[in-house]
Structure 1
Amino acid sequence: MTIFMAYQASRVEMSYEAAQLLPKKDSAYVDYQKFREIFGEEGNLIVVGVEDPDFFQLDHFEDWHELVSNLDQIDGVENLLSVSNAYNLRKNKEKRSFEIEEIFPEEINSQQQLDSLASLFHSLPFYRGLLYNEESDFYLLAISVNKDKMKSKQREKMVTSIQKTCEAFSEKTELDLHYSGLPYIRVVNSIKIKKEIYLFSALALLLCIITLFLFFRSFKAVLFPILIVITGVIWAMGTMALFGFKITLLTGMIPSLLIVIGIPNSIYMLNKYHHEFRNHGNNIKALQRVIIKIGNATFLTNLTTASGFATFVITNSEILRQFGVIAALNILTLFVLSLLLIPILFSFAKPPGERHIKHLESKLFQFIVMRLETISQKHRKLVYISTIGVLLLGFYGISQIKSSGYMVDDIPESDIIYKDLKYFEKQVDGLMPLEIIIDTQRPNGVMSLSNFKRIDQLEKRLENYDELSSSMSLLNILKFSKQAFYNGNERYYSLPNNQEKNFILGYATKSNEDEAAGVSALHSFLDSTKQVTRVSIRMHDVGTKRMEELYTEFKQEVDSVFPADKYDVTVTGSSVTFFKGTQYLVKNLFSSLTLAIFLIATFMAVMFYSWRMVLMSLIPNIIPLIFTAAIMGFVDIPIKASTILVFSIAFGISVDNTIHFLAKYRQELTATGWNIQESVKLALRETGVSMIYTFVVLFFGFGVYSVSQFGGTAALGILVSLTLFVAITSNLILLPSLLAGLEKYTTTKSFHEPLLQIFDEEEDIELDELEIEGTNQEDKKL
């Protein structure tokens, strides 16, 4: 099976598409698809910018022109728009049409000629704010890339080629170039994801090796668990290939997650194995008891952990659904592998020696457990008061929490990608696409002067928003055409009146559409029936909270200009789908957390058959969630897709300790004749050590994510580690205190006689002593 899965794993591919956050039936998703059907892709633009006061010096300009020419040769680059290949419109009176001509020819012979051409370029308002910012001597190069290559692994080669070509320019001119655009950001991030998959897997593996050796001081106790989790990782990657899933930012975390989550299975089993072997010295009996006595509890702990991940399936987000399915299935697979292979492998190995089980008598851990025992037995009131204090502080912290998300949320502010994005926001007022689709509801309706005026009115209103760039629409082309109609006079760059409109459109329709596509470009802003047009804007990455406010304001502006009974106007684009998708995701992740709590409570009810005990077990594991949410409120970590994941994952893992503790506690109740105080002590002494061992692995295992270059992944690691720290404290102090202090209300007969049987700790049936009772001697012989 592992060889087969390894073969399948070799076929897993990286995902090269933007994560789909919205379900296909959502209105925002439908609107965006409608836009793409009419006007095509709006997110396949890589931008390069430079600040150069001497840009129009002949040697500098020639270097820039050479850069543009070299970039044009790269496979996958479709179009380039820059100062050096900008064009102008000329009126041809004889043909009564506009003709396109490049402003800057291939060869410029003198600085004087370049100055004259630069003066002509600056007289064209069409390019201001689009290709240059005169105030800061900033110039922009827009690279349109092939959408099919952007969805394949060839995109990395393409973007790397663009970077190398630009770096050669920088070395030659000693000018710093800035890069951005959604395609560029996605490709650079995917390269980082691949590196982090290997880094986190290696770090998690190294951490587990060190931890296992420090705890058990045995080569076998390190080798066998590591072999099991590596097998589990291979199966997980094979499962991804069989399901047809690709590696994303989330599914790329699965190998390291499985290593960290899978090791605790081995720790509990090895600890129990060593306990049993120390008691009676029989190797096979010790291995048999590992399965009999903690098999059910271990199954339930893995089931609850898997449930925490499985609840992501209900989010309807494809990226989260894939993550949840693969993680949940393979956590259960790892449990099966551990339950089968730990007893099998150790049955062939030599029994543990004295030094191997010496960890059971560790003075450090004995001291810690005894201190915990003293707290839960003698300082229960202090524990309860402290818990109430934490809860009150927690609720206050939760009231301070904010909800927000950015399109480059996972990128830290120190990263060059983030800095360059903010640089472009400063120079050209942003890069994130925002589109307004205007449907006039009648063929040729866009071309009326009244609608031109309405679009112009809307654009002027949108100019008041600092977060938005200057808009691009059919009007820019008409204004450019009017300027050309009046022989390039700059003061005529304005909206044509009714008479001018007919002349200008007459010239435009007679122009060579294929040649003048970049200028007249009527098809870029009109559908085939001239019923629908678009207003294209670029904006800052303002975050979901501000975007929600802006979206509401945009809708109000649109409705005031275009009456809803006469026009169908839609506000869409990547900016809108991202903020809508993030809102949808956060809402659904809260639902998945609620479902996780419900499912885990149900599983525990099946195991313990006591609603009081279920409630008792949930309290120590919900408090850490409240505590972590409060910390997020106090230190201003917003609720967003990456941070809300913490709660479902951490809850599913932290409740494992509770299950193991209560399972052992119930076994001790029978052995001690229903002495609750003594049972709590004995349960704490045995399971406490295993709980501490697993906590160390999980805490540092999730902690490795804190070194991630992605803010969301780093936050996930830190917050899960923090939650697990509070959870282990709660399970080792609060849970025993509750059991010992509220014994009359919690430990009922139904808890003593559960639906799912956990074998008595002291029960020991020897097969050779069994005897079948019969009515006569023949039956006994039989």
Structure 2
Amino acid sequence: MATLNTSGFWPTVSRIILRNRILILVLLVAATATLGTQWKHMRFTYTEANLLPDDHEVNVTYNKFLDIFGEEGNLIVLAVKDPALFTVRNFNAWNKLSKRFNAFPEVEAVISVGDLKKLVADRKNETFVLEDLIKTKLESADQVSKIKKELFENLPFYESLLYNKESGTLRTAVYIDKSIVNTSVRKNFVFNELIPLIESFEEETGLDVRVSGMPYVRTLNAQNIVDEIGLFVLGALLVTSFIFFFFFRSFRATFISMVVVIVGVMWAFGILGLLKYEITVLTALIPPLIIVIGIPNCIFFINKYQQEVKKHGNQAKSLQRVISKIGNATLMTNLTTASGFATFILTKSQLLKEFGIVASINIVAIFILSLLIIPIIYSFMSLPKTKHLKHLNKRWIGRFVGWMEHVVRNHRIEIYVVSLVLLIMSIIGIYQIKISGSLIEDMPKRADFFDDIRFFEEEFDGIMPLEVMIDTKRKNGVMKLSTLKRMDELENLIDETPELSKTISVTNLVKYSKQAYYNGKPKYYQLPSSQENSFILSYAKKSSDSANLLNSFVDSTGQVARITTFMQDIGTEKMEDIEESLWSKINKVFPEERYEVSLTGKALLFLKGTKYLINNLVISLSLAIILIALFMAYMFRSFRMIIISLIPNLLPLLITAGMMGFLGVPIKPSTILVFSIAFGISVDDTIHFLAKYRQELQANRWKVTKSVYAALKETGVSMFYTSIVLFFGFSVFMISSFGGTVALGGLVSATLLFAMLSNLLLLPCLLLSLEKSIANKKILKKPAIQILPKEDKEVKVDQDLT
């Protein structure tokens, strides 16, 4: 294998940068301005995250359902649980509110007690007609009571759709235009029309209106994502700048690092716009992520610059050495971090691909910005003063490094024992991890709309649509009594399942038709017998009103029917149990040769997407480990060094996974990202340490003990600084109102803290224990890549930077 000699490359890069400072600054400003023009193309997502590839069987089924019945998630529901609603004044105000909704072009239909229609048999014309439930203006409490009694006792067709008989909760269903459900028009309607009208009603009546439904929840949830981007960016800037200043005690150094990361954030937004990717709950994390990852670059560059200034006081020499000595090592660490994110590109999930592409591009971009901006800005400034260099001699840092050396020197066995115990405990914890496929689990629990979700779960058994699609394989096969009875048998199972709401389907309409035929008596709300079916259907065929109602439940050919139910927010295991129970019934009731039955809907889509994502991310993490192992092999040309470098980075991942099991944090789309992100970042410390260790081996004539401690002293401070910045930087995500983002921030922070301790304590111990097998000139003499230039290698210095 040929050795890649970078010893001449980086000094050349340093001269190019410092000799063309003005030109480079102009180019950076031009690039930033150009990317700034792309901000206008940034779009916020108006759809749920689809975690499955387009050609996945579950997606194909869902799209087939949408082709037949249209968008299923277009229902917004309003409800009031208060006896005061049934006063004349409040009841009329409630009905007026529904009529105002119906006037909006964005609204397809409104089902409310105010404009409710009763199905009535017209004996003269032998057909069914729809009559208004409320025929005259309500002026007395008696009239309101009669309407309430009629609805709650005589119209079971509307039970669970409009009312809860037990609690007295009254509901209004607002179906918005399916064509605007996944567009910005939905957002404008919710914020500019729906919410103001509801607030006005609440102010007028003093009643508390609960609002939910997927379009409403998605709109408010998306707005929370938008609001939190600014919060994350500001929080990350404040936290990292404070920590940076605490370490360096220099406003100038802090200012320069802030310039680097702010430009990095501007580029991140520009790249999102340039690629025309939507801002999702994942891509929204990239700007603050760039800040958190960019600050360690600044620490390495600025710390090295100040060390050089303290050593010889020559600014030109210091800046050139910063680029030539730190540039390559920082490039390697940024590439490994970018590789960790880039593995997401290999998944078949479009959501993850976009996240991986933008994150990896921006990580490389923030390295380039650090490499160019920091030396150039410092070149225009005077040399740092003595007070700016005091942090290099801080006693507490010296004590920290001394403590690490003491522990490695005297307590190696204890470190191995603690590591082994943590490993065993982690494995136990891993077996307790659960998988979560909930659509709403990560939504902000402090938000009012989350309380409303729970309210509708208690009152109407959920808001997440679950659909059963039944293809009878023949025209008008749905309305055959045998099919209706089979559907009714399946619906009885669904109705008896506590986690599912009462079903809505063509069988409800047929039962209602029989009730209407028998003068509206509730006891006849049931499927007709074979004798009754023929003449009841003859009434229905003549009824245009019945046909309009039928269109919601059956396709235009009468071949395909749907059964709609709504699911509560339940765990993945429970959802799988329900799915298994439904399929067991479906396979028993619907013969495969006569019927083709599919389960679909957003609730099931998200469950399947979560499981698919977990499988893909396990592959992604494995690829990241293999990729970085190959990277280590190329750098150090030693299988033993690969193993040694992976152990201190895999152990923190296992510890974090164990913590998730013990703390009850489930595996879900947000938390599974932790491992790839943390691994890609934590391996940077290993690269820095091993590169310095190898350099010390050469300088100390292959004396392992001396080299290990020298590397520990040299890299320990920078590793500590960067790990603390990363720890608190990722902790910023814990201020989020989204449970998944909070878990992501906390888990990555914990993993990186464990990784720092592992690289500063366990890694040196492994090197010392395996002294004879790795301190071999044949193994380490000529690395494929010279990460750090030799200490005695001088570079040609431009003395004049003015």
* TM-score bracket for the superposition, by shorter chain length: over 0.9
- For the pair 1:613 / 2:641, whether they are aligned, the reply is yes
State whether structure 2 residue 406 is matched by structure 1 residue 374: yes
SS at structure 2 position matched to 1:151: coil
Deviates more, 1:183-192 or 1:100-109: 100-109
**1:129 is matched with which residue?**
160
Tell me by how many angstroms 1:483 deviates: 1.4
> TM-score normalized by structure 1?
0.95
Distance 1:263 1:654 in 2: 15
Q: Is the 8 A contact 1:300 1:603 kept in 2?
A: no
Alignment partner for residue 60 of structure 2, among 15, 30, 34?
Answer: 30
Deviation digits for residues 260-319 of structure 1 (CA, Å, limit 9, x no counterpart): 101111101111122222222222222222222222221111011111111112222222
Residue 35 of structure 2 corresponds to: 5
Q: What is the CA–CA distance in structure 2 between the aligned matches of 1:371 and 1:119, rounded to whole Å?
A: 79
Provide the C-alpha distance between the structure 2 equivalents of 1:106 and 1:728, rounded to a whole number of angstroms: 75
* Residue 456 (structure 1) shift: 1.6
Write the distance in 2 (CA, Å) between the matches of 1:115 and 1:212: 69
Task: Find the residue that maps to 1:47 and give its secondary structure.
Answer: strand
- 1:234 is displaced (CA, Å) by 1.3
Structure 1 counterpart of 2:265: 233
AA aligned to 2:549 is A
Contact 1:97 1:510 in 2 (8 A): yes
**Is contact 1:613–1:751 with CA below 8 Å preserved after alignment?**
no
The one-letter amino acid of 1:131's match is L
What is the deviation of 1:760? 4.0
* 8 Å Cα contact 2:641/2:774 also seen in 1: yes
- The CA deviation at 1:561 is 0.3
Q: Which residue of 2 aligns with 1:275?
A: 307
1:47–1:140: 8 Å Cα contact kept in structure 2? yes
User: How far did residue 232 of structure 1 move?
Assistant: 1.4
Q: In 2, are the aligned partners of 1:264 and 1:694 still within 8 Å (CA)?
A: yes
Specify which of 679, 682, 692 is matched with residue 664 of structure 1.
692
Match of 1:614, as an amino acid?
I
Map 1:130-529; keep pairs closer than 5 Å: 130-160=161-191, 161-513=193-545, 521-529=549-557
One of 574, 579, 597 as aligned partner of 2:602 = 574
Moved more, 725-734 or 159-168: 159-168
Give the distance between the partners of 2:101 and 2:764, measured in 1 at CA: 68
Which residue identity lines up with residue 479 of structure 2 in the other structure?
A: M
Question: What does residue 615 of structure 2 align with?
Answer: 587
Is the CA contact (8 Å cut-off) linking 1:74 and 1:162 kept in structure 2?
Answer: no
- Tell me whether 36-45 or 460-469 shows the greater mean CA deviation: 460-469
Hey, what does 2:69 align to over in structure 1? Answer: 39
CA contact (8 A) 1:302 1:335 kept: yes
Task: Specify whether residues 394 and 766 from structure 1 end up closer, same or farther in structure 2 by C-alpha distance, changes over 3 A only.
Answer: closer
Displacement of 1:412 in angstroms is 4.8
Is the counterpart of residue 765 in structure 1 residue 783 in structure 2?
no
Shift of the 132–715 alpha-carbon distance from structure 1 to 2, 3 Å rule, reads same
CA deviation profile, 1:602-632 (whole Å, cap 9, x unmatched): 1122122212112111111111001111111
8 Å contact from structure 2 (residues 236, 292) kept in 1: yes
Aligned equivalent of 1:734: 762
Decide whether the 8 Å contact of 1:543 with 1:579 is kept in 2. Answer: no
Which amino acid in structure 2 is aligned with residue 653 of structure 1? I
Q: Secondary structure of 1:731's partner?
A: helix
Query: Which of 146, 154, 161 matches 1:116?
Result: 146
Cα deviation for residue 660 of structure 1 reads 0.8
Aligned residues of 1:613 and 1:747 also touching (Cα < 8 A): no
Question: 2:88 pairs with 41, 47, 58, which one?
Answer: 58
Residue aligned with 2:167, SS = coil
SS of the residue 1:723 aligns to: helix
SS in 2 for 1:496: coil
Q: Does the residue aligned with 1:186 lie in a helix, a strand or coil?
A: helix
Measured in 2, the distance between the counterparts of 1:222 and 1:117 equals: 70
For the Cα contact (< 8 Å) 1:436–1:534, is it kept in 2?
A: yes
TM-aligned CA distance change 1:747 to 1:339, over 3 Å: farther
Kept after mapping to 2: 8 A contact 1:17/1:151: yes
Q: Deviations over 1:741-777 (max 9, x none)?
A: 3211223322221011134442233659xxxxxxxxx
Which AA in structure 2 matches 1:50? V
2:660 corresponding residue in structure 1:
632
Q: 1:766 to 1:12 in 2, by over 3 A?
A: closer
Q: 1:73 aligns with which of 103, 106, 122?
A: 103
Aligned length: 765
Q: Distance in 2 between matches of 1:758 and 1:319?
A: 35
- What SS does the corresponding residue of 1:442 show, helix, strand or coil? coil
Once the two structures are superposed, the pairs formed by residues 700-711 of structure 1 within 5 Å of their partners are 700-711=728-739
- Distance 1:758-1:434 versus aligned 2 partners, 3 A rule: closer
Alpha-carbon distance in structure 1 between the residues aligned to 2:554 and 2:118: 21
Q: Secondary structure at the match of 2:41?
A: coil
Q: Give the Cα separation in 2 of the matches to 1:738 and 1:532.
A: 66
- Could you tell me the percent identity over the aligned residues? 47
Distance (Å, rounded) in 2 between the aligned partners of 1:152 and 1:568: 33
Query: In the aligned structure 2, how far is the partner of 1:445 from the partner of 1:75?
Result: 35
Paired amino acid for 1:540: Q
In the alignment, the residues of structure 2 paired with residue 681 and residue 764 of structure 1 have an alpha-carbon distance, to the nearest angstrom, of 22
TM-aligned CA deviation for residue 701 of structure 1: 0.4
Q: Residues of 1 paired with 2:99 and 2:554: CA distance?
A: 30
1:284 to 1:510, Cα distance in 2 relative to 1, 3 A: same
Aligned partners of 2:706, 2:174: CA distance in 1, in Å? 73
Contact 2:691/2:788 (<8 A) preserved: no
Alpha-carbon distance between aligned partners in 1 of 2:671 and 2:534, rounded to the nearest angstrom? 57
Task: Give secondary structure in 2 for the equivalent of 1:463.
Answer: helix
Whether the 8 Å contact between 2:41 and 2:276 is mirrored in structure 1 is no
Q: Which has the higher mean CA deviation after the structures are superposed, 643-652 or 671-680?
A: 671-680
* Alignment of 1:547 onto 2:579: no
Q: Please tell me whether the aligned partners of residues 89 and 100 of structure 1 are also in contact (alpha carbons under 8 angstroms).
A: yes
Deviation at 1:95, TM superposition (A): 2.3
Q: What code does the residue aligned with 1:344 have?
A: I
2:133 is aligned, of 93, 103, 127, to 103
2:783 aligned residue (718, 733, 754): 754
Q: CA deviation at 1:242?
A: 1.4
> Please, which runs of 5 or more residues in structure 2 have no aligned partner?
1-30, 798-802
Question: Quick one: distance in 2 between partners of 1:312 and 1:759?
Answer: 30
Whether 1:745 aligns to 2:776 is: no
Distance 1:301 1:106 in 2: 76
Using the TM superposition, give the Cα deviation of residue 106 of structure 1 relative to its aligned residue in structure 2, in angstroms: 5.8
Contact preservation (8 Å) 2:134, 2:147? yes
Indicate if the aligned counterparts of 1:266 and 1:342 stay in contact, CA closer than 8 A.
yes
Letter in 2 for 1:502: S
**Shift of the alpha carbon at 1:467?**
1.2
Distance, in Å, in 2 between the alignment partners of 1:496 and 1:55 is 36
SS at the partner of 2:435? coil
Of stretches 316-325 and 213-222 in structure 1, the one that deviates more from structure 2 is: 213-222
Provide the C-alpha distance between the structure 1 equivalents of 2:488 and 2:218, rounded to a whole number of angstroms.
34
Q: 1:275 to 1:74 in 2, by over 3 A?
A: same
The separation in 2 between residues aligned to 1:628 and 1:670, in whole angstroms, is 36
